[in-house]
Amino acid sequence: MIEDKVLKELTEEDYEKHRKQAKQHLKKGNIEKAKNHLKISSNLLKKVSKMENNKKISQRKKKES
């Protein structure tokens, strides 16, 4: 579905944004801010992974039908 693909792409973009911000905060020595951005990026990456798994399961079910 197009909506799912767009949502996945937006989530991946958010992941990249937070990873970049975490690196910037680490360079500046802002450990707590970096930690927060890494936690957010980790959650976003889990969300992307779940989307990919759901897509694979859906495709498998279609093939079995």
Q: Is the pLDDT of residue 12 over 80?
A: yes
Mean pLDDT in residue range 5-9: 91
On whether the CB atoms of residues 16 and 45 are closer than 8 A, the answer is no
pLDDT of residue 31: 98
Residue position matching structure tokens 């707590």: 32
Contacts of 37 (CB under 8 A, 6+ apart): 18, 19, 21, 22, 25
- 31 within some domain: yes
Q: What is the pLDDT of residues 33-54, one digit of tens each?
A: 999 999 999 999 999 999 999 8
- 7 within some domain: no
- 47 within some domain: yes
Tokens of 45: 């990456």
> Model-level pTM?
0.82
- 3 within some domain: no
Which residue range forms the structural domain that includes residue 47?
Answer: 13-64
Total structural domains within the chain: 1
Average pLDDT, the chain: 93
- 33 within some domain: yes
pLDDT band, very low/low/confident/very high, at 30 (cuts 50, 70, 90): very high
Residue 4 CA neighbour count, 13 Å, CB half: 12
